Copies of this chain bind each other. A is one copy, B any other.
Amino acid sequence: MKARVHVTLKPGVLDPQGKAIHKALSGLGFDTVERVRQGKVIEIELAETDPARARESLRQMCEKLLANTVIENYAIELDG
């Protein structure tokens, strides 16, 4: 079973990366860009066929390791 975990900064948390990308894009002449935020995607293949169990296990992975829940949110997406 394949899954994707999206990790994004919580709203209001400073995103230096996004800020720098925004500036760089403007510098390159992409002047329609209004806002940039950067996040992570973690693709995980699981030896698990039960979606409910997979989701629960992914949730635990996020809480324990994949996301820094102090400043980040996460979203889990299961394939198929």
Binding site for B on A (CB under 8 A): 6, 8, 18, 21, 24-25, 28, 30, 32-48, 57, 60-61, 64-66
Contact B43 A8 (CB under 8 A): yes
Of A28, A30, A66, most buried by chain B (CB within 10 Å of CB) is A30
Complex Cα–Cα for A8 and B4 (A): 12
> How many copies of the shown chain assemble into the complex?
2
Contact B39 A35 (CB under 8 A): no
Complex Cα–Cα for A18 and B45 (A): 11
Chain B proximity of A36: nearest CB distance (Å)? 5
In the complex, which residues of chain B have a beta carbon less than 8 angstroms from the beta carbon of A36?
Answer: 42-45
In the complex, which residues of chain B have a beta carbon less than 8 angstroms from the beta carbon of A21?
Answer: 42, 65-66
